[in-house]
Structure 1
């Protein structure tokens, strides 16, 4: 990773949708799906999906802060999922689909807590924000077949029903930020 690049690690449901959206943003160098926040070392996708590892599905975003700020990444993150749902996103149910920000330093922790406080104050959502903010411990990369999953599997039923509509909305909302 280049010295000027930073990392952000975010969980907002299934990582296929988040990965596809963040890969399209100006200033994002790369996105890797993976797992963190649990107690099982080197978990597999099957193990994480069981809900027994404590891990969340996350993306780790390598970005250039001169082109896109951490705050902007968080704003997009919150627009891509429902941060009021506890241990789920839509029909994806379980702690592996929780909403979470895994910060890499104190500045990221402060930025995450600040944006959550602002959204709560402004009553952006009808329910309390459930997004966890915690220090990143260990990031476990997901199996390679998850890389660019939506782009490689657009015919997949889940991708058609869930990912595609979210990405269409994302592209309209953030058109000026796309590569």
Structure 2
């Protein structure tokens, strides 16, 4: 097994985690805060941070490209700082790349999504260098497993992959 990590944000972390947890090759999910101004952020104090997820995956089963493809099918990447009822920079669409290869892959996938014209409007997903990922409080982990009728604005909008 070749274990790797990916860091993305696309609105409320609960819904993204719930959809990714069952994807082939995803070994673990954790929700948290990423891309912000303070160390040890909390739900009540995370200036500049996005609600993101850390995906641990087996790269022999799935790839960073496939993860990004699915990411663009389960949230609206054309709404600036918004997903569903959630508004603000915490809910931005972002890919946190850890090296130039991931950045290049993200740029390629964004272009593929743009060229598909499946979404109305331009993709506003930001590419941000990974700095640190801070796990969210325990009550946010696996939230929709524990609260099956809890709020989410994430669902598969397109069954067919972009790639």
> What TM-score, normalized by structure 1, do the two folds share?
0.84
Is the counterpart of residue 14 in structure 1 residue 12 in structure 2? yes
1:55 to 29, 33, 49: 49
> Residues 102 and 134 of structure 1 are in contact (CA less than 8 Å); yes or no, is this contact kept in structure 2?
yes
1:25 to 20, 23, 26: 23
Partner of 2:68: 74
Give distance in 2, aligned partners of 1:109 and 1:154: 34
Q: Which has the higher helix share?
A: 1
Give distance in 2, aligned partners of 1:102 and 1:126: 24
Partner of 1:106: 100
Give distance in 1, aligned partners of 2:148 and 2:20: 17
- Give structure 1 stretches of 5+ with no counterpart: 175-179
Q: Which runs of 4+ in 1 moved over 4 A?
A: none
> What TM-score, normalized by structure 2, do the two folds share?
0.92
User: What's the Cα RMSD here?
Assistant: 1.7
- Give structure 2 stretches of 5+ with no counterpart: none
Partner of 1:173: 159
Number of aligned positions between the proteins? 160
Give distance in 1, aligned partners of 2:64 and 2:149: 32
